[in-house]
Amino acid sequence: MINPFLITLIALFMMPSTDGVPKFTKLGITHVIYEFEDSSVPPPHHRSYQISLSAEKLHIVVDSYGDIIADKEFPATQEQLDGVLELLEKSKIKSGKKKESKGCTGGTGERIRCKNADAIVFSGYVYHCGGADYGDMSGETANIKSFVIGLVPDFEKLLDRN
């Protein structure tokens, strides 16, 4: 016979947090993908990028309206991946009901996706426009952006706006 206390303890461990923030460190995540979509500015100044992080490598692609400016890979570690996962929790990143922008244009967007070996286990998007946030993701995304770009060697050089 299984101990009822043990069943309760397991059930509590498996439940999501009460604030709706996923337990990123408990989902078996193997990849975190952070995307930044720049605002609508002339091509010499427009830079969007995608940074994909696993325990083995960091891959960054920088583009200007679809034209690839940089495509680089760097070694990464499990500690770096764990750092991002812990920060996702601390920054209260979560997805929820989508908030429509109702015509606001000219803003920037951020997307975060987390994958395990089998599937995407988290996906969220936020559009920052006119001093407000729209989309289905909330939390302190600026923390994630700072941390992830901090992992990229010579990040600013990869944006090369000249």
Instruction: Assess if residue 86 is contained within a domain.
Output: yes
Instruction: Assess if residue 15 is contained within a domain.
Output: no
What tens digit of pLDDT does each residue of 123-145 get? 999 999 999 999 999 999 999 99
Tally Cβ neighbours within 10 Å of residue 143.
15
* pLDDT score, position 162: 58
Instruction: Assess if residue 6 is contained within a domain.
Output: no
Non-local (6+) Cβ contacts of 153 within 8 A are 74
Query: Are 55 and 84 within 8 A, CB to CB?
Result: no
Instruction: Assess if residue 24 is contained within a domain.
Output: no
What's the domain count of the chain? Answer: 1
* pLDDT score, position 161: 64
Name the residue range of residue 41's domain.
29-95+106-159
The whole-angstrom separation of Cα 139 and Cα 19 is 11
Instruction: Assess if residue 149 is contained within a domain.
Output: yes
Closest by Cα among 76, 75, 52, 77 to 62: 52
What tens digit of pLDDT does each residue of 48-72 get? 999 999 999 999 999 988 889 999 9
Amino acid at 86: E
Amino acid at 103: G
* CATH code of residue 55: 3.30.1560
Instruction: Assess if residue 20 is contained within a domain.
Output: no
